[in-house]
Amino acid sequence: MATIDDVSRRAGVSRSTVSRVVAGNGYVSESKRKAIEQAIADLGYRPNTHARALRSNRSNVIGAVVVDIGTPYFASIIFGVQRAVRPSGKSLMVSSGYADEDQESRAILELIDRSCDGIVLYLEHPMRPDVVEILRAARIPVVTIGKDHCPLSRGNVVLENYQGARDAMTHLLEQGHRDIVYLSANLTLGDSQERLRGVTDALAAFDLTLDNIHVVYGMFLERFGYGATKALIEEGRAFTAIFAGDDDIAAGVYEALREFGRSVPGDVSVMGFDDAFFAKYLTPPLSTVRQQVDALGQQAANLLLRLMDDPTSGPLSASVETSLVIRTSVAPVEPIKEVA
């Protein structure tokens, strides 16, 4: 295995000059830099990152905990985090908390044990007190996404869930819909709370309340959308529109409606939330609320890098806006024809 001394001999420069290029610190002339980079490529040299971490007291690793990295939504958040940290020369370590308090605690402790320089957290539960104290002792900066469940965080990034849900429900109401079903995820989830608040205020603007629509609580899953819609049809509930809490739920709604011979939007209008990659490929294309999921991760990582550069900064905050995407899954309510 090539060493730093091998690189310095091949490039014809001192060992310290090679170290400056590898670490990205200090001035090195362009000609020497190119010679060193070529020598590194020729020899296949890889720096000893562990040794560098011991010397600098930094691991150059950023940690991140999200709900489930196996889903497109949270994979997009991680994509945004990585897009921000890569240019800074830092690596990324990721773990899932699965919306479970103990799993979230385990994931955080694993990142602390691996001496991460900073951590981005997307949690669905308040951090356990014992984990708070361990994190406090580690003195690792933290930025949260969504509900701020970490009392030590110095930065927070939120999605405009409230405004997105309000805009979506307002659109359904403006199209004349009153027999509306809202399929919400469980209110233990921060996003669900804000979206329900947006729905409530949209209804209030039309002199309506949640009692005037039908709300079903579940999870951000396709099978919830399918099961809830199937149950509504089988019980004989009348509805002209379904507002799905996210696009995964909406996909399940489509499946159930198709199974029962209901057309979209002829029989039932459907509204989603997220503008997932598949939303425009559904038949018909889904009207939904667009959010830049990767921007959540990128904004959070940028705040974290600022805190790492200047620990006295903060508290810092940022928000990611939503926008209504009108496609063809929502149609106006047909007026009832009077019998002559």
For 322, phi and psi rounded to 5 degrees? Answer: -115, 165
For 185, phi and psi rounded to 5 degrees? Answer: -70, 165
Residues 183, 251 within the same domain: yes
Residues 105, 130 within the same domain: yes
For 51, phi and psi rounded to 5 degrees? Answer: -65, -40
* 340 in a structural domain: no
If one counts the domains in the chain, the total is: 3
CA pair distance 222, 339, nearest whole angstrom: 40
Q: Is the pLDDT of residue 51 over 80?
A: no
* 15 in a structural domain: yes
Convert the pLDDT of each residue in 112-123 to its tens digit. Answer: 998 899 999 999
Residues 173, 287 within the same domain: yes
Convert the pLDDT of each residue in 182-238 to its tens digit. Answer: 999 998 888 899 999 999 999 999 999 999 999 999 999 999 999 999 999 999 999
Residues 140, 171 within the same domain: no
CATH (domain of 125) = 3.40.50.2300
Spell out the long-range contacts of 137-141 with Cβ–Cβ below 8 A and sequence spacing 24 or more.
138/112, 140/112, 140/116, 141/117, 141/304, 141/307, 141/308, 141/311
- What pTM, to 2 d.p., does this model score? 0.75
Which one, of 153, 161, 116, 122, lies nearest residue 136 by Cα?
Answer: 153
* 332 in a structural domain: no
For 42, phi and psi rounded to 5 degrees? Answer: -65, -40
Range of the domain at 81: 61-159+294-322
The vertex-70 CA angle with 123 and 243, nearest 5°, equals 70
Residues 145, 181 within the same domain: no
